[in-house]
Structure 1
């Protein structure tokens, strides 16, 4: 049974055309997607959700699961009067998208999964419990070096400090308790049994140097989802779609398949 959100979900809208829902990583928000949403809004109506407890979305302070976040996406689609949409998820957002696409396959037109996983492994519960503890006990500013190293390559941080800083500011505004609760949800997640139920055309992207959700996890997704494509992206780390704006073209190409086959 889904846990209530105790309030509405915030959604940023941009553009017109076929609906595309963007789901953000842990401890960030839909604001992350501003550049990508701008790039795709000439062809798609883009909806960037703030997941439960993140950004401007409500949270009642109770524990939740990845399934609950997927149910929140279903509720958001209902409130937007969208029977179906394409989904793009990065990191935690990708894990939510996997769960949603496996449980509500008829509602997903096309799927892009970037730097994400359906399961974090045998030690996930303990590892993510430790992450959750740090989320609430370590000052947020002191968590930034750990996050930056996972998110972006050193070369990107040197060339584009303003973009790295934009993402850091979103992280600093995130509720630490919600960050911790989402970490526990990630540790408990195992959506692997849902992979064969995904029917949407699926593109799996992963940075070659993503050590948060490495290429081996992406391969498991691509092997488990029928007819999924896998692309390993040279030189990129965990936030591949932020570090490489040119990937918007690859995303567009994949999403167009839905409109071209209708």
Structure 2
């Protein structure tokens, strides 16, 4: 993904599109942008029509309104699919992107073929919620620079941080360069909406893959298993030895996991169409 290849939708969303085949949409996490997915776009676009975009309040996309909800983030994706004339897509959401993917599946069920929820939060316990609310308060006061160094320690293993200082610096720069209001409004949803749609998740009937790092302290394996219990067609995969930033630190493993899931979803879809 080159910055010069980025496009801008009529509704104000920056996105990249590459490859041919069934459409796959990649949604990044809070504080980041679509460039998170460089390793995934490179591989997935050999098999699929891959769209990676900046969420509201991130990168060069429009800011969310002050009263924005996850449904507004889901509608941003809907507007992009409509503009690209795509009737449906398989959606891959990382971290906060997993919340947006869930909201999209609930709000626009006819437009999603399958869903991957990667390193995402669900139903925080009291201690986890208190920590997240504390970080949100610090973000309100200090802006995007709040907690960034602590976040990098949670997101990446010590060995990866030591071996790839340029990558760590780039992620830090990406987080700290966010628009303060766009970042805060998005972060507030990330902190408070982990149980979004809890009583409706059973209605999501498409295939779902839930994956997270074994050592991810914020998006834990326990959360992944608990979320899967609410989804009738979900499987869980734990990335051994990984923390939060699996798409970067364990790109090859994540790519293999995604290709396997996507191939199963779309081969199954082709079989269904053949039988009709």
TM-score > 0.5 by shorter chain: yes
Following the alignment from structure 1 to structure 2, what is the Cα–Cα distance between the partners of residues 23 and 58?
15
Q: CA deviation at 1:26?
A: 0.6
Partner of 1:161: 165
Distance change >3 Å, CA 118–CA 12, structure 1 → 2? same
Q: Is the 2:64–2:182 Cα contact (8 Å) retained in structure 1?
A: no
**Structure 1 unaligned spans of 5+:** 1-5
Query: 8 Å contact 1:128–1:184 — kept in the other structure?
Result: no
3-state SS, counterpart of residue 36 of structure 1: helix
Shift in Å at residue 256 of structure 1? 0.7
The match for 2:273 is none
Equivalent residue, structure 2, for 1:114: 118
Query: Any conservation in 2 of the 1:20–1:45 contact (CA below 8 Å)?
Result: yes
Question: What TM-score comes out, normalization by structure 1 length?
Answer: 0.90
> What is the match of residue 3 of structure 1?
none
In the alignment, structure 1 residue 206 sits paired with structure 2 residue 212: yes
Q: Deviations over 1:100-132 (max 9, x none)?
A: 112322211121111113433457876544333
- TM-score (norm. length: structure 2): 0.86
After superposition, the Cα gap between the structure-2 partners of 1:176 and 1:187, relative to the gap in structure 1 and judged at 3 Å, is same
Distance of 1:134 and 1:142 partners within structure 2: 6
Equivalences, count: 257
Q: Per chain length, whose mean CA-contact separation is higher, i.e. which structure has more relative contact order (CA < 8 Å, sep 6+)?
A: 1
Whole-Å separation in 2 of the counterparts to 1:154 and 1:111: 31
List per-residue Cα deviations over 1:157-212 (Å, max 9, x = no partner). Answer: 12222322332222122112211111222233222123211122111101011111
> Secondary structure, in 3 states, of the residue corresponding to 2:251?
coil
SS at match of 2:52: strand
In the aligned structure 2, how far is the partner of 1:64 from the partner of 1:139?
A: 18
Match of 2:266 in 1: 259
Q: Unaligned regions of 5+ residues in structure 2, if any?
A: 1-9, 271-276
Match of 2:7 in 1: none
Tell me the C-alpha RMSD between the 2 structures: 2.1
- Say which of 217, 239, 244 aligns to 2:223: 217
1:242 & 1:108 partners in 2: Cα distance? 25
Residue 226 of structure 1: CA displacement? 1.0
